[in-house]
Amino acid sequence: MERQFVCIECPRGCALTVTTDGKTVNVTGNFCPRGKKYAEAEVSCPRRVVTSSVRGMSAMIPVKTRGEVKKENIFAVMKRIRALRINRDVALGEVLDPDIDGEGTPLIATAQYHREQTDGQ
């Protein structure tokens, strides 16, 4: 099997070609070892950092996962994020859910939030 990827590990964006027979993985097109590692992870267990926003009392609170979650879990993670409601002040980096993916990955706030603030403040 052969697959093509664009490496997203840095802005260079190398075009990677991955061939695998199910046992071994061969990567070409990578300028550095990070591309090989990225491609190997993409074919075995792709993962992503999830960024979104959570509903506060008066505004949306930007959030992200602290670490990558399995791509197959992203839909379930987004469902849990949509269901969250925050009714208190939140500090930058505060954990809003300690295990958003069921595998121990926390969801954190990427901005400070005050209950009385409105979007754009």
Max intra-chain CA distance, the chain: 57
Region near ligand SF4 per CB under 6 A, out of 27-35, 40-48, 66-74, 75-83 = 27-35
Does 4 help bind ligand SF4 (rule: CB under 6 A)?
no
Q: Which of 5, 18, 35, 113 binds ligand SF4 (CB under 6 A)?
A: 35
Q: How far is the CB of 45 from ligand SF4 (least distance, A)?
A: 18
Name every residue whose Cβ is closer than 8 Å to that of residue 64 and which is 6 or more positions away in sequence. Answer: 49, 50, 51, 52, 107, 108, 110
- Distance CA(66)–CA(51), nearest Å, equals 10
82 is written with which tokens? 């949509």
- Shortest distance (Å) from residue 17 CB to ligand SF4: 12
**Binding residues for ligand SF4, per CB under 6 A?**
7, 9-10, 12-14, 30-32, 34-35
